[in-house]
Amino acid sequence: MDFLNGITLISNYILIPGLTYGSQLALGALGITIVYSVLRFSNFAHGEFMSFGAMSSILLCWLFLSLEINLNPLPTAIIVLPFAIIITIFYCILVDKIIFKFYRLQNSKSVINLIVSIGVMFFTGGLIRFIIGPGDKNFFDGERFILKAKTFKNYTGLREGLALKTTQGITIVLSIILVILLFWFLNKTKTGKSMRAYSDNKELALLSGINPEKVVLITWIITGTLACVAGTLYGLDKSYKPFTYLHLVLPIFSAAIVGGVGNPVGAIIGGFVIAFSELIVTFAYKKIFFYFLPNYLVPDGLLQILSTDYKIAISFIILVLVLLIRPTGIYKGKII
Amino acid sequence: MKNRSRIQILYFLMAIILFAVGIFQSWNVALTIFNLCLISSIMTLGINVQWGNAGIVNFGVMGFAALGGLANIIISMPPTSNAWETGGNSIVIGLMILVLSIIFSVFMFKRVNFNKRIKYLISFLIIFVGYFIMRLMVDSPIEQIEAIEPAKTGYLGGFNLPVIISWPVGGLLAAFAAFIIGKISLGLRSDYLAIATLGISEIIIYILKNEDWLSRGVKNVNGLPRPVPYEIELQSREWLLETANILKIPLPEVSSIIVKLSYSVLFLLVLLVILYLLQIAVKSPWGRMMRAIRDNEVSANAMGKDIKKRHLQVFIIGSAIVGIAGAMLTTLDGQFTPVSYQPLRYTFLIWIMVIVGGSGNNFGSIIGAFLIWFFWIQSEPLGLWLLSFITSHISDTNLIKSHLLENAAHIRLMFMGIILLVTLRFAPKGLIPEVKR
């Protein structure tokens, strides 16, 4: 019984939150990785693109709710998501046409593109705060839990509860669907293959008659989709605040680099590595030991490796470690 | 020659703008802006020597500035009574053990010949064990120190020295951090370096936010001593009363203007010294070498220049300058608030200043800092004014109008983005381009 209690405890506090946060990071890191492998620059504006996607979802949610369209018990955000994706894609393409295209045609250095993306970040951040305000917006509606801790306890008779929030379930399911679609597109379709060819060897791809503008367009369509879904899911899960997305950029970059920049599989792995290490390092192990060890061996104290205050700092520490030990990331990414 | 006239025109314009603020708004506001402009321009000089002269992307401005701020606490605050006796020593020893274990593991990693995986494992184990010994040594003293009057102190305190000393010490702290960060990350490509420095600066802020025994964390350290007299003290002086009578300005205003002016003089002195030294450095063979490395690393390497060493050197110098500016900023604020360190305000805004002013030109960096800081402060009223102008024909009860006016403050982020993007598109070399030599 103690053993089962311990397992439940781990799943409730590490496994499920880790899977959720990991999926959100993985979707974000995928966006950054794809922009990097095709357009060859680190896109600092990606966090604000995610924020933009979340904002569009919120605005559409309000619209749909005022029209009394909802999807009870699921949150309304699910119906509006396709429309929000379209808006985000449109914004990304607009930004590319007005701003990034100029530097692409000039073959600017990647640092210049990076600084340009900071300008885009400022502008988009300002635009978002201007439209929706800097405050906290909660746009979750519908049933809060798929599985309540109390129901689980009553059902199994265990001392530890296991809860699964609706947002967590939606995040995991949607991420899996999106990732499968993305890999199918990249590996099976002709357009996806031409995109990979372009990111592999630009000159050769151009010689074989691949239209660069089309590749770039598709890149932004994919990026916009990923950004919008990731941003909306994050906002749905943790309530939407515009400024949090700036702080989210760094864990996402860590995830992309840890996995190996330019490699989609790496981005997903990186996202989960970051998410789980944040949880594992800051978890208080006292209760686990309480279940797994005989009583006289259980030590005092909370047995945390680092206090919870350092949760986000862990992603940076991992980033630094990876850059030190294996700058190419887990899966060898592109180093230009 | 063309550059010189540009410098003259732009500096003259900036002076007029500040005077206009003084005359039309108030001299207090103008001096506040001027002081922060001075500090920002020292920070931009630090970044410019790295980016403009050596091509190093340092996104860790925020962290170095915060370390400078920490120097204020360490130098100028009075030591908390009994704090050192209760546990100061064991904290120091604990930290030493951690540092020693890291040094030992790095040493072992470099010197011992083993399978690479085993080496990683052993290094990791050494650091892990060191960390746990540190935790054992440090945990209870930290708790005791934080329990000493937590509402007032609850931290180690400082050395009770004059606060001016904290400026060079802030520079030293930042230089020391830059040495470690540079050792770790300078080998990386430019955009990895940017992300790494940004990440490390966030780690520094997290430490300052959470290690209450060092910096009181989110409880802030208030009432830092000042290098200049307090307003109240000044108001009892005879000569000030007379000046106030002659100028016909209320006494409190005169005293606060004098305080701000004395800050300005101090900051201006520091700025001029740093500018002078940097100008000499840029013109010297050293500056030429840095530019050669920036423009073509391979050929500079072929000429026998040690690129890693030079990069580390310039990284330390630039970061130390940022640290000095950070210390000055905290002294000006009179308090240390770790929460206020945001990458948007410290890192990215400083970078916009450098790019807009002209990377590679020290005079450009200074004017960039002045203009952008002025805009950053004044764009809030400006945005409000702009929006009220645009919406002036809409009735006051309109929801859209009230929403627009409510969020007008955030237009300044958009302004900054647009300024940066326009500069990069139409004048990529900035307002005052680098001098061709």
For B224-258, give the DSSP string.
Answer: ---SS--HHHHHT-HHHHHHHHHHT--HHHHHHHH
Kindly identify which residue of chain A lies nearest to residue B420, measuring between CA atoms.
A119
Report whether pLDDT(A86) > 70: yes
Q: Mean pLDDT, to the nearest integer, of B228-235?
A: 81
Asked if the peptide bond before residue A73 counts as cis, ω within 30 degrees of 0, the response is yes
Each residue's pLDDT tens digit, A103-112 = 999 988 889 9
* Whole-number average pLDDT of chain B: 88
Q: Which residues of B touch A (CB under 8 A)?
A: 57, 120, 184-185, 188-192, 194-196, 198-200, 202-203, 206-207, 209-210, 343-344, 348, 351-352, 355, 406-407, 410-418, 420-421, 424-425, 428
- Which residue ranges make up each domain of chain B? 2-81+150-376+410-426, 84-147
- Among A120, A246, A316, pick the best mutation site for testing chain B contact (most B Cβ within 10 A): A316
- pLDDT reported for residue A1: 67
Q: For A28-78, how does the pLDDT look when each residue is reduced to its tens digit (9 = 90+)?
A: 999 999 999 898 899 999 999 999 999 999 999 989 888 887 777 788 888
Over residues B72-87, the pLDDT tens digits come to 999 998 888 777 777 7
- Residue B334's Cα: distance from chain center in Å? 15
- Contact list in A for residue B424 (CB cut-off 8 A) is 112, 115-116, 119
Q: Per-residue pLDDT for A333 more than 70?
A: no
**DSSP secondary structure, B357-389, as one string:** H-TT-HHHHHHHHHHHHHHHHHHHHHHHHHHHH
Is the pLDDT reported for residue B328 higher than 80?
A: yes
CA distance B154 to chain A (A): 18
Give the residue with greater pLDDT, B124 vs A303: B124
Q: Is the pLDDT of residue A101 over 90?
A: yes
- DSSP bridge pairs for A145: A165
What pLDDT, on a 0 to 100 scale, did the predictor assign at position A308? 75
* Predicted confidence (pLDDT) at residue A336 exceeds the cutoff of 60: no
Distances from the Cα of B367 to the Cα of A136, B11, B262, B432, angstroms: 37, 7, 22, 9
Which run of H or of E encompasses B351?
helix B349-357
Q: Which residues have a Cβ under 8 Å from the Cβ of B157 and sit 6 or more positions away? A: B73, B77, B78, B79, B80, B83
* Domains in chain A: boundaries: 2-257
> To the nearest whole angstrom, how far is the Cα of A105 from the nearest Cα of chain B?
13
When CB atoms are compared, the residue of A127, A317, A327 closest to B188 is A327
Q: Are B359 and B371 in contact (CB under 8 A)?
A: no
Look at residue B408 in the predicted model and tell me its pLDDT.
Answer: 77
The secondary structure of A179-239 as a DSSP string is HHHHHHHHHHSHHHHHHHHHHH-HHHHHHTT--HHHHHHHHHHHHHHHHHHHHHHHHHHH-
**CA of B251 to nearest chain A CA: how many angstroms apart?**
40
Task: Please name the member of A99, A131, A317 whose beta carbon is closest to the beta carbon of B421.
Answer: A99
Among A257-266, A307-316, B343-352, B354-363, which stretch is predicted with the lowest mean pLDDT? A307-316
Q: Which residue in B421, B425, B426 has the most chain A C-beta atoms within 10 A of its own C-beta, making it the best mutation to test that interface?
A: B421
Using CB atoms, pick whichever of B120, B188, B417 lies closest to residue A119. B417
User: What are the tens digits of pLDDT across the range B173-223?
Assistant: 999 999 999 988 888 878 888 988 998 999 999 999 988 888 888 888 888
Quote the CA–CA distance of A129 and A140 in Å, as a whole number.
20
Distance from C-alpha of A260 to C-alpha of A319, rounded to nearest angstrom: 11
pTM of the model: 0.92
This complex has an ipTM of 0.90
Mean pLDDT of the region A4-10 = 82
Q: What is the pLDDT of residue A19?
A: 94
Q: Which of A115-119, B5-9, B236-240 has the highest mean pLDDT?
A: A115-119
Cα–Cα distance, A83 to A93 (Å, whole number): 16
Amino acid at A140: F
Q: Which residue is closest to B119 within chain A, CA to CA?
A: A325
Which residues on chain B are in Cβ contact (under 8 Å) with A37?
A: none
The radius of gyration of chain B's CA atoms, rounded to the nearest angstrom, is 24
8 A C-beta contact, residue A27 and residue A175: yes
Query: What are the residues whose beta carbons fall under 8 Å from the beta carbon of B287, sequence distance 6 or more?
Result: B53, B281
CA dist list (Å): A241 to A52, A78, A121, B277, B408: 11, 19, 16, 44, 18
Q: In terms of Cα–Cα distance, which of B427, B420, B278 is closest to B349?
A: B420
Cβ <8 Å between B428 and A112:
yes
The pLDDT tens digits for B332-364 are 999 999 989 988 889 999 999 999 998 889 999
Chains A & B: contacts with CB separation below 8 Å: 127
Q: Are A17 and A23 in contact (CB under 8 A)?
A: no
Tell me how far apart the alpha carbons of residues B351 and B356 are, in angstroms, rounded to a whole number.
Answer: 8
Q: Which residues of chain B are within 8 Å of residue A309 when distances are taken between CB atoms?
A: 206, 209-210
Examine the pLDDT at B94 and tell me if it is beyond 90. Answer: no
Residue from B424, B425, B426, B429 to probe the interface with A (highest A Cβ count within 10 Å): B424
C-alpha B351/C-alpha B47 separation (Å) is: 8
Cα(B73)–Cα(B102) distance, integer angstroms:
27
Inspect the interface and report whether the beta carbons of B210 and A116 lie closer than 8 Å.
Answer: no
SS3 at position A134: coil
Least confident range from A148-157, A291-300, B159-168: namely A291-300
Residue A157: the pLDDT is: 77
Q: How do beta strands A164-165 and A145-147 pair? A: antiparallel
Report whether B420 contacts A118 (CB < 8 A).
Answer: yes
Q: Residue A335 pLDDT more than 70?
A: no
**Can you give the pLDDT at residue A159?**
77
Confidence of residue A299 (pLDDT cuts 50, 70, 90): low
pLDDT at A325 over 90: no
Measure the CA–CA gap between B184 and A316, rounded to whole angstroms: 13
Q: For residue A28, how many other CB atoms are within 10 A of its CB?
A: 31
For domain A2-257, give the CATH number: 1.10.3470
